[in-house]
Amino acid sequence: MFKSMLVILFVMIGFSAQAAVILQYHHVSASTPAITSVTPEQFREQMQYLSENDFIVKPLSEVVDAIKNNQDIPAKTVVITFDDGYRSIAKTAHPILKEYGFPYTLFVSIEPIKAKYREMMSWDELIALSKEGAEIANHSWAHEHLIRKVKGESKEQWIERIEDNILRTEREISQATGQNHKMLAYPYGEYNQDIESMLTRNGFIGLGQQSGAAGAFSSLTALPRFPVAGVYADLTSLKVKLHSLNMPVISQNMTDPELKNGHWRPELKVTLDVADIYPHQMMCYIQGQGAKKPLWLSGNEFSIRAEFDLPVGRSRYNCTVPSKSKTGYYWFSQAWVRSSGDTTE
């Protein structure tokens, strides 16, 4: 309710219409799994495109502060993030980013660093990068599925365990690097409303893996990012995403990604500020089920629902619509997650 009132206030008094496109990378290597990788050649091509086409690459913390304070975000603002802290980032990506003068954020988990996993950076490497300007941020202690409960664990015990996990990770990062950004990238992009509330209580922001541009209409505990890897590493398709706009969502009937037992075809109802969009040009996509036109319930409210049960694991509803006045598409994505332990009622 508070978020809806705040967004309506933004519409009434004016707000930054611009948004930042946050890119999510993992490996920058030709020898790692393609589904989580871009090749060094692809990465250089992408950074060169940003440089030659006047994109403004900003630190994530700066963009987060702008969204928090309703400050202007310049057009064509991009943020570069990496999940997990793989060594290829230090070896391959960092020199390219340094060449172009681009800031970036590394989301790291503590256990893989302490265990000295072969592909992971060491603390010494992370500290060296932090001294050169890289932001080091939170990716949980051991890259856990945060929404999963231990057998016999109560809801209170589960959230207490997750809270301790995130706070311990933040302390470890702070002790090693001196940085304390309180920014969490959800492992696997999985989160739920209880985790969001816990982050808010502790002054954290959260980033998912659902697509879209981040701006005034975004939740600070579910900021969207565009994954760049595999089939999504092609520059032609990436160009479209780099020009995406923050969908002007005033309210929606569901925001919790965790599906409840038996409710595998969630009906999402979304109310928009339609001043700069062509509502009936909107197209939605249900992951694994293809394109689907939304059902418009009124001049500014639409609904979208899967035709078939969403599978176990992670799914998305994505909706895009062209802007009347700007280059690019407004982009909205709702993440869903169905637990493997659930059974249909």
Q: Encode pLDDT of 161-187 as tens digits.
A: 999 999 999 999 999 999 999 999 999
Asked if 213 and 331 touch (Cβ cutoff 8 Å), the reply is yes
CATH number of the domain to which 329 belongs:
2.60.40.10
The verdict on 166 and 92 lying in the same domain is: yes
CATH number of the domain to which 213 belongs:
3.20.20.370
**Mean per-residue pLDDT of the chain:** 93
Q: What is the DSSP string of 139-195?
A: --SS---TTPPPTT--HHHHHHHHHHHHHHHHHHHHHHHS----EEEPGGG---HHH
Environment class of 156 (CB within 10 Å of its CB; exposed 0-12, middle 13-18, buried 19+) = exposed
- Of residues 3 and 174, more confidence is placed in 174
Residues 6+ apart with CB under 8 A from 222: 191, 196, 206, 207, 208, 210, 255, 335
Q: Copy the structure tokens of residue 299.
A: 């001049």
Segment 93-120, tens digit of pLDDT: 999 999 999 999 999 999 999 999 989 9
The verdict on 149 and 26 lying in the same domain is: yes
The verdict on 152 and 215 lying in the same domain is: yes
Q: Is the pTM above the cut of 0.85?
A: yes
In a domain, 95, yes or no: yes
Percent of the chain with pLDDT over 90: 91
In a domain, 27, yes or no: yes
In a domain, 343, yes or no: no
* pLDDT above 60 for 3: no
If DSSP codes are grouped into helix, strand and coil, which group holds residue 216?
Answer: coil
User: What was the pLDDT predicted at 340?
Assistant: 82
Residue 343: pLDDT band by 50, 70, 90 thresholds?
Answer: very low
Percent of the chain with pLDDT over 70: 94
The verdict on 220 and 330 lying in the same domain is: no
The verdict on 185 and 260 lying in the same domain is: no
* pLDDT above 60 for 306: yes
Number of domains in the chain: 2
The verdict on 46 and 132 lying in the same domain is: yes
In a domain, 133, yes or no: yes
* pLDDT above 70 for 7: no
User: Degrees (nearest 5) of the Cα angle 224, 155, 188?
Assistant: 30
Question: From the CB of residue 261, how many other CB atoms can be counted at a distance below 10 Å?
Answer: 12
Q: Copy the structure tokens of residue 8.
A: 């309506």
Segment 113-153, tens digit of pLDDT: 999 998 999 999 999 999 999 999 999 999 999 999 999 99
Helices assigned H by DSSP within the chain: 2-13, 40-52, 60-68, 87-88, 94-100, 110-114, 123-131, 155-177, 193-201, 235-242
Asked if 202 and 163 touch (Cβ cutoff 8 Å), the reply is yes
Residue 240 identity (one-letter amino acid): V
Q: Mean pLDDT across the stretch 279-296?
A: 97
Q: Which residue is it, tokens 């502790």? A: 202
In a domain, 272, yes or no: yes
The verdict on 114 and 190 lying in the same domain is: yes
* pLDDT above 50 for 16: no
Question: From the CB of residue 18, how many other CB atoms can be counted at a distance below 10 Å?
Answer: 18
In a domain, 178, yes or no: yes
The verdict on 174 and 287 lying in the same domain is: no
Segment 179-226, tens digit of pLDDT: 999 999 999 999 999 999 999 999 999 999 999 999 999 999 999 999
The verdict on 240 and 320 lying in the same domain is: no
Q: Copy the structure tokens of residue 91.
A: 């070896």
Among candidate residues 244, 271, 298, the one where a domain is terminated: 244
Among candidate residues 201, 223, 244, the one where a domain is terminated: 244
In a domain, 345, yes or no: no
- Enclosing domain of residue 276: 251-338
Asked if 137 and 184 touch (Cβ cutoff 8 Å), the reply is yes
User: What was the pLDDT predicted at 15?
Assistant: 41
User: What was the pLDDT predicted at 317?
Assistant: 98
The verdict on 196 and 327 lying in the same domain is: no
The verdict on 266 and 194 lying in the same domain is: no
Is the CA virtual torsion 222, 199, 220, 173 positive or negative? Answer: negative
* pLDDT above 60 for 344: no
In a domain, 344, yes or no: no
* pLDDT above 80 for 6: no
The verdict on 67 and 156 lying in the same domain is: yes
Among candidate residues 244, 268, 302, the one where a domain is terminated: 244
User: What was the pLDDT predicted at 9?
Assistant: 42
Q: Mean pLDDT across the stretch 31-55?
A: 97
